[in-house]
Chain A
């Protein structure tokens, strides 16, 4: 019996029995090459495209009028733009975690979810990147963030976390794009060879760049992929760490804390896995992919959600504890203000969403019920958004001088921009599942029983110390 159909340590297999190279290839490529576009796709794309138009409208009005149309003002200068930026970029982290870290840890179950999780990363980073640009007020001068020779002889301020952020996020976006595209080259060749229509043959042919599956090419390809995974692993940790530096390097109460980097990274993975579940559960149902995205995948993701949820919960507890233990009156006021101040309902909803909701995942019946998991993932996504709201708004609106306290209320344009990016994200996702293979076909081939021990998992066995074979 091959390892692919072995149940492994408890639970269902990573691919249902009975599949061959041909069936996995045909099943996944037929989703893309099917002539008829499914009705739900048309409706879903229409709805998300409409929201994208809302985003376009909101941005156009913003460019015409300036950021005064948003709710930001003194003392809360960051508002929705930064909340949404951190939320979106955090969501992206699960994609890289699945594609790089789980690859290095030789977690075979990642294979069927890595491709669309990477796509999710890319689209989430695209949505995230919009916010700081728009928040600058004069987005047409965004290139000032980059070091380039200019007549003013000016350079970016290298000691500013906001400049680090520019480098971290743009590197993250570039490396994620490379990783995603390189992972897709062999599958694009499969689509090129299987497409019937001339236009598709040319389209996929150009993207596949003449890939022919040569043994020598595969060897270098595997080396490059492994190295990319090794590079992406510290990168993904660094990105949210740098995002947390945007806060911790400041002296604002509630921000100036060493717990932020690990707690932000855990929160990012937490939000990201919730989003992967939100995407995977409907996708496997509508495209009949239960053979490839099995209960094992859902259960494993639920476990990661629970683990990272507990880390995030620990972060909240330490935050509260340290504000008391530090004996700093501003820190003490900050946490009291969060719990009992004007934004207390947001704080307590956050606790409910992020600490209480994931506790249901201790139960196997919850972890193996897709509708319940979907519900928990929705709650967690909302919770992580609220977390960023609490961090950004409650710390800024009442800091040191009571005379400069104020309140922050988002306007309709804040909401339109936020909802619009959700539309943009979904519209890109819909385009992706229609035109590109959402599951890695060549890696799925290595998991079918007939592949046997010769099929090389992305990490060759001889490269891992202590591994048999």
Chain B
């Protein structure tokens, strides 16, 4: 049953252990489209929710390799092809002296890819999100822990989810409007 104008049901918990337990049991109960909102990263929560491993490290590796190739390629191209200068017959492609810049650009590209990759995969910046409509959601950045089962979930049923949230000790359950 998909309710129009409802994004999902949001349950509030007081303690992180309760949230992790609720997330684990929700997954066991067959819910898949859900997310938790917490004031700090919680050990094991993404596993309990069934999120896979992130691809971010690969993005960072790609950034590092691109930076490395850019730096080496630029120095090699300019020293040997575009602007070769013969200094007493010394080699044009003097790679040991190219290393510092190669290292710096590798780090720079990898770091930029890490940050933009993290933001991009998270879909940030995102000025509007339905969960902000929940009246007590501001506490998710202070001292409360929230679990949201979204209306897109195939098993979404407001009454059974409310009953489920009560059985796992939710402090309060609200329907989040789109």
A interface with B by C-beta (< 8 Å): 20-22, 25-26, 147, 153-155, 158-159, 161, 163-164, 167-168, 171, 174-175, 178-179, 181-182, 186, 189-190, 192-194, 205, 209-224, 227-228, 231-232, 234-235, 238, 242, 245, 442-443, 445-446, 450-456, 460-461
Q: In the complex, A175 Cα to B104 Cα: how many Å?
A: 10
Q: In the complex, A192 Cα to B127 Cα: how many Å?
A: 12
Among candidates B49, B118, B132, B142, residue contacting A212 with C-beta atoms closer than 8 Å? B132
Given contacts A158-B101, A163-B101, A456-B41, contact A175 B111 (CB under 8 A): yes
Query: Do A174 and B108 touch across chains, with their CB atoms under 8 A apart?
Result: yes
Query: Do B98 and A210 touch across chains, with their CB atoms under 8 A apart?
Result: no
Which residue of chain B is the closest to A152 with respect to CB atoms?
B83
> Main secondary structure on chain A at its contact with chain B?
helix
Does residue B159 face the partner (Cβ distance < 8 Å to A)? Answer: no
Among candidates A189, A210, A218, residue contacting B41 with C-beta atoms closer than 8 Å? A218
Which residue of chain B is the closest to A191 with respect to CB atoms?
B141
Residues of B86-119 at the interface with A, using a CB-CB cut-off of 8 Å, are 94, 97-98, 100-101, 103-105, 107-108, 110-112, 114-115, 117-119
Q: In the complex, A445 Cα to B142 Cα: how many Å?
A: 9
Among candidates B43, B105, B124, residue contacting A455 with C-beta atoms closer than 8 Å? B43
Known: A223-B56, A456-B41. 12 other contacts (CB 8 A): A25-B141, A26-B142, A158-B101, A164-B101, A179-B111, A192-B141, A214-B36, A220-B121, A442-B39, A445-B40, A454-B43, A455-B40
Query: Do A171 and B107 touch across chains, with their CB atoms under 8 A apart?
Result: yes
State the 6 A-B residue pairs at the shortest beta-carbon distance, nearest first: A209-B125, A21-B143, A224-B118, A210-B126, A193-B138, A215-B36
Which residue of chain B is the closest to A219 with respect to CB atoms?
B46
Query: Do B51 and A227 touch across chains, with their CB atoms under 8 A apart?
Result: no
Does residue B17 face the partner (Cβ distance < 8 Å to A)? Answer: yes
Query: Do B100 and A216 touch across chains, with their CB atoms under 8 A apart?
Result: no
B interface with A by C-beta (< 8 Å): 15-17, 20, 23, 35-46, 49, 51, 54, 56-57, 60, 74-75, 78-79, 82-83, 94, 97-98, 100-101, 103-105, 107-108, 110-112, 114-115, 117-119, 121-122, 124-129, 131-132, 137-143
Closest CB of chain A to B72's CB: distance in Å? 10
Given contacts A209-B119, A212-B131, contact A221 B41 (CB under 8 A): yes
Among candidates A26, A175, A450, A461, residue contacting B107 with C-beta atoms closer than 8 Å? A175
Q: In the complex, A231 Cα to B140 Cα: how many Å?
A: 30
Q: In the complex, A220 Cα to B49 Cα: how many Å?
A: 14
| Neighbouring A residues of B121 by C-beta, 8 Å | 220
Given contacts A25-B142, A212-B37, contact A168 B111 (CB under 8 A): no
Q: In the complex, A20 Cα to B44 Cα: how many Å?
A: 21
Query: Do A224 and B108 touch across chains, with their CB atoms under 8 A apart?
Result: no
| Neighbouring A residues of B98 by C-beta, 8 Å | 158
| Neighbouring B residues of A190 by C-beta, 8 Å | 39, 141-142
Query: Do A213 and B43 touch across chains, with their CB atoms under 8 A apart?
Result: no
Q: In the complex, A161 Cα to B98 Cα: how many Å?
A: 10
| Neighbouring B residues of A450 by C-beta, 8 Å | 15
Query: Do B124 and A210 touch across chains, with their CB atoms under 8 A apart?
Result: yes
Q: In the complex, A186 Cα to B144 Cα: how many Å?
A: 14
Which residue of chain B is the closest to A182 with respect to CB atoms?
B115
Query: Do A224 and B49 touch across chains, with their CB atoms under 8 A apart?
Result: no
Among candidates B16, B36, B131, B141, residue contacting A452 with C-beta atoms closer than 8 Å? B16
Closest CB of chain A to B41's CB: distance in Å? 4
Which residue of chain B is the closest to A235 with respect to CB atoms?
B107
| Neighbouring A residues of B44 by C-beta, 8 Å | 454
| Neighbouring A residues of B115 by C-beta, 8 Å | 178, 181-182, 224, 228
Query: Do A216 and B49 touch across chains, with their CB atoms under 8 A apart?
Result: yes
Given contacts A228-B115, A242-B100, contact A153 B43 (CB under 8 A): no
